[in-house]
């Protein structure tokens, strides 16, 4: 059976003391849930977050990493460095990384390879822009993003991959894909995975939805058969809202 996952992406928010305060608020609310729960603090706070949460049910994950093991890449962080501070899972391909830091499918394929070579788990993000949806091109865009970054992998690699469909027009905009739009796209994604890797890989793959997911809409979105959880931005910065979303399962 595939896993249900709710991951909070804190983006470039929260300094060290704000991170500690949010973690304290989260710890006060943790209870056993069906979903795996993860939070992605900014890189400078990973070690502190890992230590604060290591005996809890919340996994600390990273927002990004570089594909090289080490070397002359000023300002970058490698898989090994993340692992050395307790991080086992990394978000790759977020639309903000693609849009503001020019991350291409080729670069993301290398990042995915580096993470998997280091036995890390990847939450791989992709999604169409508004113009793509308006022109009816959303499936092509999503299919190409997935194929270009992931389809060089062996089937066995997918046990360490989680997909996150994040329509760019819904991220941080307050506009959410309807549960039906999310379900249609998730079913399409599962179909293209099944066509290349078979039904077993496709059926075991968790596909998260991201884009203005909130306590008020999470239950309906998560009730769709191909939606296995959410990648949460804004609402993950508030412990009550985040746990209301986790408890939507
Ligand atoms: C995100 O950035 O991954 C995201 C889903 O953000 P938000 O929930 O704020 O739309």
The pLDDT tens digits for 104-140 are 999 999 999 999 999 999 999 999 999 999 999 999 9
Q: Contact 61/90 with Cβ under 8 angstroms?
A: yes
Q: Contact 11/233 with Cβ under 8 angstroms?
A: yes
47 token code pair? 């070690």
230 token code pair? 């959410």
CA-based max dimension of the chain = 48
Q: Which atom belonging to ligand 1 lies closest to the Cα atom of 236?
A: 8
- What are the pocket residues of ligand 1 if the criterion is a CB atom closer than 6 Å to any ligand atom? 9, 166, 171-172, 210-213, 231-235
Residue whose structure tokens are 């080729």 = 106
pLDDT band of 84, cuts 50, 70, 90: very high
- pLDDT mean over 137-145: 98
User: Who's near 21: CB < 8 A, 6+ residues apart?
Assistant: none
Neighbours of 131 (CB within 10 A): 11
Confidence (pLDDT) at 128: 97
- pLDDT mean over 83-97: 98
Half-sphere exposure of residue 131, counting CA atoms within 13 Å on the CB side? 0
Q: Contact 161/115 with Cβ under 8 angstroms?
A: no
Q: Contact 189/163 with Cβ under 8 angstroms?
A: yes
Pick the residue whose CA is nearest to atom 2 on ligand 1: 233
Q: Sign (positive/negative) of CA torsion 74, 76, 79, 82?
A: positive
CA-to-CA distance for 184 and 54, rounded, in angstroms?
Answer: 37
Task: Indicate if the pLDDT at residue 249 is higher than 90.
Answer: no
What separation in Å is there between the alpha carbon of 218 and the centre of ligand 1? Answer: 13
Q: Note the pLDDT tens digit of each residue in 146-190.
A: 999 999 999 999 999 999 999 999 888 878 889 999 999 999 999
pTM > 0.85: yes or no:
yes
Q: Contact 60/9 with Cβ under 8 angstroms?
A: no
Under DSSP, is residue 150 helix (H, G, I), strand (E, B) or coil?
helix
Tell me the catalytic residues: 94, 166
The string of DSSP codes covering 193-223 is HHHHH-HHHHHH--EEEESS--HHHHHHHHT
233 token code pair? 């931005």
Q: Note the pLDDT tens digit of each residue in 17-48.
A: 999 999 999 999 887 788 999 999 999 999 99
What separation in Å is there between the alpha carbon of 209 and the centre of ligand 1? Answer: 9
**99, 177, 213, 236, best to mutate for ligand 1 pocket (most atoms within 8 Å of CB):** 213
Confidence (pLDDT) at 58: 96
Rg (CA), the chain: 17
Q: Note the pLDDT tens digit of each residue in 52-78.
A: 999 999 999 999 999 999 999 999 999
- Describe the crossing of helices 179-197 and 138-150 by its angle, rounded to 10 degrees: 40
- 220 sits in the region (left: phi over 0; alpha: psi -120 to 50; else beta) called alpha
What separation in Å is there between the alpha carbon of 210 and the centre of ligand 1? Answer: 6
Closest by Cα among 13, 38, 243 to 122: 38
């Amino acid at each position: 059976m595939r896993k249900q996952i709710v991951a909070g992406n804190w983006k470039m928010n929260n300094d060290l003391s704000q991170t500690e305060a949010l973690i304290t608020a989260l710890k006060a609310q943790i209870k056993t849930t069906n979903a795996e729960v993860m939070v992605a603090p900014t890189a400078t706070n990973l070690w502190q977050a890992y230590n604060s949460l290591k005996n809890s049910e919340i996994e600390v994950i990273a927002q990004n990493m570089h594909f090289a093991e080490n070397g002359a890449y000023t300002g970058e962080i490698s898989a090994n460095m993340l692992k050395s501070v307790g991080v086992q899972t990394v978000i790759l391909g977020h639309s903000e990384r693609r849009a503001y830091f020019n991350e291409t499918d080729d670069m993301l394929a290398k990042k995915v390879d580096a993470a998997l070579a280091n036995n890390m788990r990847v939450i791989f993000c992709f999604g169409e822009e508004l113009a793509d949806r308006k022109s009816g091109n959303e499936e092509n865009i999503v299919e190409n993003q997935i194929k270009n970054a992931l389809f060089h992998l062996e089937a066995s690699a997918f046990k360490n991959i989680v997909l996150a469909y994040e329509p760019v027009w819904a991220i941080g905009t307050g506009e959410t894909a309807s549960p039906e739009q999310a379900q249609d796209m998730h079913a399409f994604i599962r179909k293209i995975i099944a066509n290349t890797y078979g039904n077993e890989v496709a059926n075991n793959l968790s596909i998260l939805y991201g884009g203005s997911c909130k306590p008020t809409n999470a239950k309906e979105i998560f009730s769709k058969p191909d939606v296995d959880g959410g990648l949460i931005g804004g609402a993950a910065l508030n412990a009550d809202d985040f746990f209301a979303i986790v408890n939507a399962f």
